[in-house]
């Protein structure tokens, strides 16, 4: 076991030879840490935590009881390849959370950003890529290969279909079933989830000013208007709002595309942000 200073390890914890334990790490009762695990400076494993596989946890992240991090992915194509789970710095991982490493189909890597909160019983599947300052409420479930942008909030019990993308600053409502891509700043509700406008509360909390929100509202209405094709509407919005970075973030998201369609409003004729 490599140590940069003496961490605080409870005598009931099991730490495999080869585990890299950073300075100031605290490992509580009955925790298990595997031989290929890296725990950054100041990481706290509270009690009954299992960290296994090729898992790296960033500095100062806290992990609570019965979380299981780094077990093999739940993918029938997985054949034991060496793959990684990388968790960012200053995260909070609450009771019963599960996170799995990647597969060959997703670059052999699952990654979370910094300053994320994963509340009790939430799940991050193989090959997911999660941004910074993301919040998962209780029982949130991500299937494989999902991409989640910065500052996204996913409410309790929501489930996200594999290969879906959720753009930065989006809000997903409780018990939502998200089977397609959610635009940046969008608010998706229901099962199956549809857009219900923009995440105005989140925009205000993040410091977006009145003019930025006004531009986003107008762009949203134009993007999801009933007239023309989506491609035509995207190009019109891109031309009209070329000087608005937040709007162009939505345009770039749509243009980039993915394996899933877009989550749209249920009633395009009555679109309102």
pTM attached to this predicted model: 0.93
Note whether 139 and 208 are same-domain residues.
Answer: no
How many Å apart are CA 12 and CA 181, to the nearest integer? Answer: 45
Sheet with 92-93, strands from edge to edge, namely: 8-9, 26-27, 44-45, 62-63, 92-93, 117-118, 135-136, 153-154, 171-172, 186-189, 194-198
Q: What is the pLDDT of residues 113-171, one digit of tens each?
A: 999 999 999 999 999 999 999 999 999 999 999 999 999 999 999 999 999 999 999 99
**144 belongs to the catalytic site:** yes
What token pair was written down for 256? 């980039």
> Is the model's pLDDT at 4 over the cut of 80?
no
| Catalytically annotated residue among 131, 144, 149, 167 | 144
What pLDDT, on the 0 to 100 scale, is given for residue 272? 56
> Is the model's pLDDT at 106 over the cut of 70?
yes
* HEC sequence for 193-233: CEEEEECHHHHHHCCCCHHHHHHHHHHHHHHCCCCCCHHHH
> Is the model's pLDDT at 205 over the cut of 90?
yes
Portion of the chain with pLDDT greater than 70, in percent: 96
Note whether 117 and 39 are same-domain residues.
Answer: yes
**In-domain check, residue 101:** yes
Final residue of a structural domain among 117, 145, 173: 145
**In-domain check, residue 231:** yes
Note whether 121 and 49 are same-domain residues.
Answer: yes
**In-domain check, residue 233:** yes
Final residue of a structural domain among 116, 145, 174: 145
Final residue of a structural domain among 145, 161, 193: 145
Number of domains in the chain: 2
- Domain limits for position 214: 203-270
CATH code of the domain covering residue 46: 2.160.10.10
> Is the model's pLDDT at 5 over the cut of 90?
no
What pLDDT, on the 0 to 100 scale, is given for residue 257? 87
Note whether 133 and 237 are same-domain residues.
Answer: no
What pLDDT, on the 0 to 100 scale, is given for residue 270? 46
**In-domain check, residue 110:** yes
CATH code of the domain covering residue 265: 1.20.1180
How many Å apart are CA 171 and CA 182, to the nearest integer? Answer: 9
Note whether 7 and 141 are same-domain residues.
Answer: yes
**In-domain check, residue 167:** no
Portion of the chain with pLDDT greater than 90, in percent: 92
In this prediction, residues 88-99 reach a mean pLDDT of: 98
What pLDDT, on the 0 to 100 scale, is given for residue 273? 57
**In-domain check, residue 23:** yes
141-150 CB contacts, 8 Å cutoff, 24+ apart? 144/73, 144/75, 144/103, 144/106, 145/105, 145/106, 145/259, 147/258, 149/184, 150/113
| Catalytically annotated residue among 75, 127, 150, 181 | 127
How many Å apart are CA 103 and CA 72, to the nearest integer? Answer: 9
What pLDDT, on the 0 to 100 scale, is given for residue 259? 85
Note whether 26 and 117 are same-domain residues.
Answer: yes
What pLDDT, on the 0 to 100 scale, is given for residue 187? 97
What pLDDT, on the 0 to 100 scale, is given for residue 13? 98
> Is the model's pLDDT at 269 over the cut of 60?
no
> Is the model's pLDDT at 3 over the cut of 50?
no
Q: What is the pLDDT of residues 219-237, one digit of tens each?
A: 999 999 989 999 999 999 9
Note whether 244 and 139 are same-domain residues.
Answer: no
Sheet with 68-69, strands from edge to edge, namely: 14-15, 32-33, 50-51, 68-69, 98-99, 123-124, 141-142, 159-160, 177-178
**In-domain check, residue 192:** no
Note whether 31 and 110 are same-domain residues.
Answer: yes
| Catalytically annotated residue among 126, 145, 169, 244 | 126
């Amino acid at each position: 076991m490599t140590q940069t200073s003496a961490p605080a390890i409870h005598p009931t914890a099991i730490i495999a030879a080869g585990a890299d334990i950073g300075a100031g790490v605290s490992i509580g009762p009955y925790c298990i840490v595997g031989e290929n695990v890296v725990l950054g400076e100041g990481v706290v494993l509270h009690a009954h935590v299992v960290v296994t596989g090729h898992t790296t946890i960033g500095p100062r992240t806290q992990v609570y009881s019965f979380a299981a991090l780094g077990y093999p992915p739940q993918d029938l194509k997985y054949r034991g390849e060496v793959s990684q789970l990388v968790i960012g710095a200053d995260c909070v991982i609450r009771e019963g959370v599960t996170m799995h490493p990647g597969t060959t189909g997703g670059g052999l890597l699952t990654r979370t950003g910094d300053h994320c909160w994963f509340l009790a019983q939430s799940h991050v599947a193989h090959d997911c890529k999660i941004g910074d300052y993301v919040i998962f409420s209780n029982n949130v479930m991500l299937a494989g290969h999902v991409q989640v942008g910065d500052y996204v909030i996913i409410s309790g019990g929501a489930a996200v279909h594999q290969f879906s993308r959720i753009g930065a600053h989006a809000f997903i409502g409780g018990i939502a079933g998200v089977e397609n891509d959610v635009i940046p700043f969008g608010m998706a509700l229901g099962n199956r989830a549809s857009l219900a406008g923009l995440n105005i509360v989140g925009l205000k909390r993040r410091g977006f000013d009145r003019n930025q929100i006004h531009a986003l509202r107008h762009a949203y209405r134009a993007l999801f208007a009933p007239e023309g094709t989506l491609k035509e509407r995207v190009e019109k919005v891109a031309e009209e709002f070329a000087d608005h970075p937040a709007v162009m973030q939505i345009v770039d998201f749509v243009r980039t595309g993915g394996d899933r369609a877009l989550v749209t409003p249920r009633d395009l004729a009555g679109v309102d942000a």
